[in-house]
A and B are shown apart, each in its own frame.
Chain A
Amino acid sequence: MEWLSLEQKCMKCKECSAVLIIRVGDAFCKACFKEYFVHKFRAMLGKKRLIYPGEKVLLALSGGPASSSMLQQVQEGLSWEAGKKLRFVPGLVHIDEGAVRGQNLKDREKMVAEVELVLKRSGFPYQIIFLEEVFNLPSSVVRWDSKNIPSVADDYKAAVDGFLCRHTQLKNAESGIRTCSTGAGVQAKLAELSIKEPEPTASTRTLRLPSAQSTQALNQLFDSVTSLTAKEELLHTLRSHLLIHTARAQGYSKVMLGDSCTRLAVKFLTNISLGRGAFLAMDTGFSDGRYGDVVLVRPMREYSLKEISAYNEMFGVPTFFSPALNSKPSEKGSIHQLTETFINKLQSDFPSTVSTVFRTSEKLNVAGSVESPDSDSAARCLFCLCPLDTQIEKASAFHATLVSEHLSQKRSPDLPEAAANQCCASSEEERRCCRKPAEGCSSTTSRADERLTLLDLLCYGCRVTTKDLTMLDHLPHYVRSEADCRTRRAAMKKEIQEFLLHNNTDLEDVLKA
């Protein structure tokens, strides 16, 4: 019997024996599978025309199958013949999350060494960042800055011209001064950014593991989260902020993520369960412009994990094994894990499940307001930077939930008296920057107030998961100081409003001045 099945021919060349079933009825031989896989990557980037020639693109590598495969495709793409060759400039970043994945220092060292070997072998500039770095992030990472968004004029055609022009100039004259009429905006911006913080060269970097203190702080933060679901979301948030910051600091204007369609189908359903339905298009789409100047791109989103894993295995693409988020066996699974199991189960019984869910997500469009450059950061979620979906009328059910929450928070027994004392003990500097002497250290409700002010700055989905975060004290400084800043700004806005005729444009001008 086994002979019969081996006989199945490739649907494409109809000559060789098939080695992989991609979709129901589509069986490819090894050579055709490779061609199909590579072609899909090129077609994806070509069709979307989102990445400009010469643009610096940061590849975020987790070391899992999809991102490893993405790196391999980019490497391959740079060696294609002239007309088809990828023309952007890649750099690599890996975020080590060992601290929250239950790895000890020795494991992490070993893991990082392995990762580094692969990154180095790529020949691209690379960086390995520890998740602990979130404690050094500036507030600007969660600020929506419309000034740096490339204008519509910098369209693809212009950028191509710019690239070609620059390219020939560099070839013709070694002088180094490039003048270029088209697409100069993008290039200048990139140049300016990269001057500010020169890229560390791979050879000179010595990797130092994070301090025990920062690892402890990170563990405290994650330990203060009571559900695995909220932990996964927090990790995702912090990781995104690190990626965006790294990209900005080094002049990358695109970040490539290795989300497969299987992963995105899981994310799609997970996010619906988490109350993030309003942002599905951004959270799962090909490009995600929520950060403005740095755009997230998901070039692997049309590959299933089956295709990716088979490709990696057949063509020797190295991947790493990283343990799942630190969890005790007794702990309930996260919505993410349960959804993944659910999707995979469905997929095995109904092989079109993933693609159906995925196609549904395709049909969603980013709402106009989402990417409109004039919405300021006050109207964006402090965590995920999506436009706030929580500004709604007082009569809604959502508002009622908030009110009851507010009341229960005030009486919440898990607010220790220590909160107030601790506030007084905090550094002189912090108190000065807080500029709220009246509220400063007055009562035990200050902690509850801080929580409420924080929740005010979050979208609905982030509010839901932040409920499981018991101690705001452990949040990185950039989050808390930005929260403070936005709250003060809002208060000021309200104050000024009372003196002004209700004219919003005037108000914006005053605030900007």
Chain B
Amino acid sequence: MEERKLSRIVWGARALLSFWTAIPCGGAELLFGGLKKHHVTLPIQSDTWDIRHLLVWIKQNLLQERPELFIQGDSVRPGILVLINDADWELMGELTYKLQNEDSITFISTLHGG
């Protein structure tokens, strides 16, 4: 109902990933093509998926313009808070956290809010 500055990734089945997102950005346009929510499928890969992989995948598959507003280097842009199952990702190993079935990943921008 209310538009939130966040995105959510939920594992559906094995190697299946669902997204709800309205990703924040500095400019007026939304990064993910203006869509609030995304449902996507993560491909099966030999390695287990961790957040680092996930970010690369998001960058390649979801970000349409100005990816630097979301990803910088191999991590999220400073100022974007990441929650894994409603808990600070800093407690979960950040980029090295291994995705589990039914995980919910939330990205919240603390940029340009007030």
Contacts and interface: CB of A to CB of B under 8 A. Distances in A.
B6 to A, nearest CB: 7
Contacts of B4: 319, 321
A242 B2 CA distance: 26
Contacts of A27: 88, 91
**A5, A17, A62, A320 pick with most chain B CB within 10 angstroms:** A5
A65 B110 contact: yes
A467 interface: no
A64 B91 CA distance: 26
Interface in A322-371: 323-324, 326-327, 329, 333, 337, 340-341, 344-345, 347-348
A6 B92 contact: yes
A19 interface: yes
Interface of A: 1-2, 5-6, 8, 17-21, 27, 30, 62, 64-67, 101-102, 114, 118, 258-260, 262-263, 305-306, 308-310, 313-314, 318-321, 323-324, 326-327, 329, 333, 337, 340-341, 344-345, 347-348
Interface stretch (B11-19, B55-63, B75-83): B75-83
Nearest to B97: A2
A19 B3 contact: no
Given A313-B83, A324-B27, 19 more contacts: A8-B91, A17-B87, A19-B87, A20-B91, A21-B91, A27-B91, A64-B114, A65-B5, A313-B6, A313-B106, A319-B4, A319-B5, A319-B113, A323-B27, A324-B28, A326-B28, A344-B78, A344-B110, A347-B79
A340 B28 contact: no
Interface in B90-114: 90-93, 96-98, 106, 108-114
Contacts of A348: 78-79
Contacts of B27: 323-324, 327, 329
Contacts of A114: 2-3
A102 to B, nearest CB: 5
B88 A19 contact: yes
Interface string B13-49: 0000000001010111000000000000000000000
16 contacts: A1-B96, A2-B93, A2-B97, A5-B91, A6-B91, A18-B91, A20-B87, A102-B28, A305-B79, A313-B86, A314-B86, A321-B3, A321-B24, A327-B28, A344-B78, A344-B79
A324 B108 contact: no
Contacts of B106: 313
Contacts of A308: 110
Contacts of A65: 5, 110, 113-114
Nearest to A61: B114
B106 to A, nearest CB: 6
Contacts of B88: 18-21, 27, 310
A409 to B, nearest CB: 34
B2 A318 contact: yes
Nearest to A323: B28
Nearest to B25: A324
A311 B90 CA distance: 16
User: Nearest 8 pairs between A and B by C-beta?
Assistant: A305-B110, A344-B79, A64-B113, A348-B78, A344-B78, A323-B28, A19-B87, A64-B114
A228 to B, nearest CB: 11
B112 A340 contact: yes
B92 A306 contact: no
B83 A310 contact: yes
Most A CB atoms within 10 A — which of B86, B93, B110? B110
A66 B114 contact: yes
Contacts of B77: 344
Contacts of B113: 64-66, 263, 305, 309, 319
Contact of A309 (B22, B28, B108): B108
A417 to B, nearest CB: 37
A263 B24 CA distance: 17
B2 A310 contact: no
Nearest to B77: A344
Contacts of B83: 310, 313
A1 B81 contact: no
A30 B91 CA distance: 13
B5 A5 contact: no
Nearest to A351: B90
A37 to B, nearest CB: 14
A45 B92 CA distance: 35
Nearest to B100: A2
A17 B86 CA distance: 12
B103 to A, nearest CB: 11
B110 to A, nearest CB: 4
Contacts of B6: 313
B51 to A, nearest CB: 11
B96 A62 contact: no
Contacts of A118: 2
Contacts of B5: 65, 319, 321
A306 B111 contact: no
B1 to A, nearest CB: 8
Contacts of B24: 321
Contacts of B79: 305, 340-341, 344, 347-348
